[in-house]
Amino acid sequence: MPALERPRLEDRLRTLVQHRVALINAPAGFGKTTLMRQLHEHLTSQGASVGWLSLDAGDNHLPQFMLSLLTVLAPLHSRWRVPLQTVLARDTSPQLQTTMAYLLNELADLEYPVFLLLDDTQTLQSPQVLARLQYLLDHAPDNLHLRLATRSATGLSLTPLRYRGQLLELEADELAFTADEIRTYFALTAKLDLSAEALRQIEDISEGWPTGLHMLALNTRFQNAPNDVLHRLSEGVRLVSRYFDEMVLSALPADIHDFLLQISILEELTPDLCAAVTQRQDTDAILRELVQKNLFITVLDDQLPCYRLHHLFAETLHGRLLRSRQHDARQLHARASHYLAQADQWRGAIRHALLTGPGDTAGQDLHGLETGARALAEQGDLDTLLRWLQQLPEESHINSLHLRVTLAWVLAHHFRFEECQALLQTASGLAEQAGPASKPIQLEIQAVTAVCAVLADDPIRAENLLAPLVSELDHLPPWIAGLVCNGLSSSYLAQGRHADVLALQRQQPISDNDDNLLVTLYRAGILGQVYVRQADLHTAGRFFQEALRRAENVAGARSNGAIVLRAHLSELFHERRQWSELTQQIEPHLSFIERAATLDGLLKVYRSLIRSYQLHTPGRAEQLVEQGLQLAQQRQWPRFSAGMLSEAIHLKRGQGLDDEALALVTQLEELRDTNSQLGEAGRREVAELVILHTARLAMHHGDYLDASQRLTPLARQLLQRGRVLAWLQLESLRLCCDWRRGRQASAIAGLLPLLQRGAQQQLCQSFVESSPILAELLQAANTHPDCTEGLRTYIKKLLSYFPQPDAMTSGPQTEPLLSEREQEVLAMVATGSANKVIARSLVISAETVKWHLKNIFHKLQVANRMQALIRARELGLIPDQPSHQSVMPPSTKNSAPVAKLA
């Protein structure tokens, strides 16, 4: 298997001539020898004098070490006054000083540089040998350059070289493969073009460890089904556990091995925590020894101190722990849980508590349990919190109103509204019986009840509950005050009251810190949504991305806060036609998004995915509509039903099935008029959808006056409510009506300011999805005197997204862009077929399918299947999919809350 060229490291090592010594210090399997070989080949190709010595245990005998050293150096000088071996044979001086002095003097007389590469330097343990090597480092002439590769601390004193700037150091973090190197490596070795999500998983599992990547690339199961293997993360451990067994663990003393087994349950390692788990008093010294030996341990903080084991190494150790039965893993988790609870590190305490025996809890009294529950809630790890609360003994909930309310709050975020309401009603009754002293818990119950109303899409009820609490923000606990501000802001947002949202958030009493992480993340999500609606996608993107990074760093990529923010990002990806980000960052998380995202966030995700699939696989788009309607029914979200019906209408109209589209518009009207759950804001939103689709159908039938009369007042209302992005979308549609009505001048004059705003914010789909008529209007605007050069560039970009005339029908005939076989493969990709299915249908191998796909991607200048299908449709290389008879499969016809889908 070929070695990967790594220019960033090779370039650094080639500066060796500027340093006396280069030290590469990293654990086993980090590519030290491979890097040395590449450096050796480079220097040799340049005509340099290079000696390479791989050391072993035999070199701990001083005469043997000197003989090995001289044997490597002898060929580098053609005119030794006395052969080196002869000098060594005659040397009777202590420590062989005479031989070393002769060697250094001879090298100093050379007029060219000499490079000495010493691999596996960690094998040198003899004080006499280390003293000779230290002498060589300290007294080497300027033309002698050494490169030392070692797995652990060498016992050599390198500080003087470091201070003089003569030492070049490379450690494990620099030798680890970057994301780009991982992608290149798998393409080179396993001929795999992995998705960004798969690469991210590989990077997380391996932490860039070259040997782990090499073993994964060689694994046949991974080569055939990479996503399946990555889905089972334990597979990654099995691939490398034998390596750790043979190369690392087998050489460890028994007490160190035992220590590593016990601490493998910990995510972060401090001396005190390790002492609590292992019942040892020397943990600080052991941890420092592990660092010195480079035993796959990373220093997180020198001051605390705090460390972490490499993920794969920790998983290998943990597997050994469970198999060995030397220790009871549940007892180790219990020790960790109790220690972390006492240190108020509740997230870790509760996670360990879930892995202990039945009845063992983090925090041994009600106050401790309440504190732990609140801490985990504030950090947004709601799945862990729910599992822990449900594991607690029943008497804990009976005796603690705070635990009941916290459980109700978590259930609301899992959309289990009936259970949430039942708990809150019971808690409210008990709080009232307690009298005036219970006012704080009563306010908390009121705030959580309102949060439940927000998540159930009942903004008016939420406002009625929360508005009276605003005047008491300064007197409420910070957590409750944050719930009040965010809950009321969500209510305002649902009603389109953006100014009220911003004014209320200025009163938010919680600072942006990790103590109340979930509150600050929801706050970022709310503010980001306001800016999206105002067509300020740059500011919105900053809110979403920065908050998402914090959520992933503190609580994890699948935490509630991270999922909510990821859902909101889908709208930005869709608007900017960032299809790869949509398919790689959003779709793989769809099941988690469905479980955690708010109604509006989930609606954005579904709408973005449906619109993207409509371009190349309408069948999948229709499946998503059906899936969304079922989810709306389960959660009793009529507004979500309306959104899915709207997408169904969009699909039918795109397929030319106007009668079916019109029938769905009628269902949308019935939903608006008959569903009492919608509320005023919901009915208005559904009414706007009815107007939009009716106007589009009128345009399709050439009645541009009727369409314009419907769109004009709606666009005005949206602008007045601060819905700038929605206004821009409707206004561009209205201008298309003006264009077709012969009002070309006013249409162009109205479009240019919209384009100016669109160019500033990189808007794409708001224009592209507007109407095919817009392409005519854009071409006319491109020649208008008021159109700047920057706008012309933007218009050219937009026009490239509209369907282009078939180049094959005009001009001289040329060779087809894709071969016949490539077109067959692409046609099957359009049906959603996997590589194995394509191979069986076309009677070719799966590897051949991959080869054809690689050629297709290259010819279409795309990076993945979705982009290839979108580009192929734009070029007319794939015929339209046959129309489906119904957007929804029979399973949901005549199902509530939308009663007439058929």
- Spatial contact of 512 and 549, defined as CB atoms under 8 Å apart: no
For residues 730 and 725, what is the distance between their CA atoms, to the nearest angstrom? 9
Beta-carbon contacts of residue 105 (< 8 Å; ≥ 6 apart):
none
648's enclosing H/E stretch is helix 638-654
> Which uninterrupted H or E stretch holds 273?
helix 271-278
Residue 155's nearest CA partner among 172, 134, 174, 171 is: 134
DSSP bridge pairs for 171: 25
In angstroms, the CA 10 to CA 5 distance is 8
How many Å apart are CA 339 and CA 364, to the nearest integer? 12
Beta-strand pair 114-119/49-54: parallel
pLDDT at 266: 94
Question: What's residue 233's pLDDT?
Answer: 47
DSSP for 760-811, please give it: HHT--HHHHTT-THHHHHHHHHHTSTT--HHHHHHHHHHHTTSPPP-GGGSS
The sign one gets for the Cα dihedral 413, 414, 417, 422 is: negative
Cα-Cα-Cα-Cα dihedral of 754, 756, 759, 761, to 10°? -70
Report whether 62 contacts 128 (CB < 8 A).
yes
> For residue 305, is the peptide bond before it cis, meaning its omega torsion is within 30 degrees of 0?
yes
- Which two three-digit tokens encode residue 879? 């015929």
Q: Look at residue 194 and give its three-state secondary structure.
A: coil
- CB-based contact 70:99 (threshold 8 Å): yes
The encoded tokens of residue 615 equal 């371009």
Closest-CA residue to 99 (of 130, 136, 72, 53) = 136
Contact 265, 340 (CB under 8 A): no
| Burial track 844-875 (b if 16+ CB lie within 10 A, e otherwise) | bebebbbebbeebbebbebebbbbbbbbbbbb
The answer to whether residues 329 and 323 touch, using CB atoms and an 8 Å cutoff, is: no
User: Given this model, what pLDDT does residue 887 score?
Assistant: 38
CATH class of the 818-874 domain in this structure: mainly alpha
Which is nearest to 766 in space by CA: 502, 532, 463?
532
Q: Prior bond to 141 cis, omega within 30?
A: no
Q: Which amino acid is at 616?
A: H
* 228-244 pLDDT, tens digit each: 666 554 444 565 776 77
Classified by CATH at the fold level, domain 7-175 comes out as: Rossmann fold (3.40.50)
Tokens coding 257: 């091995």
- pLDDT less than 50: residues of the chain: 1, 233-236, 806-814, 880-902
Tokens for 36?
Answer: 């040395």
Q: What share of the chain is helix, strand, coil (3-state, %, to 5)?
A: 70, 5, 25
CA 353 to chain centre: 28
Domain chopping of the chain, boundaries: 7-175, 179-247, 818-874
CA–CA distance, 898 with 494 (Å, rounded to integer): 21
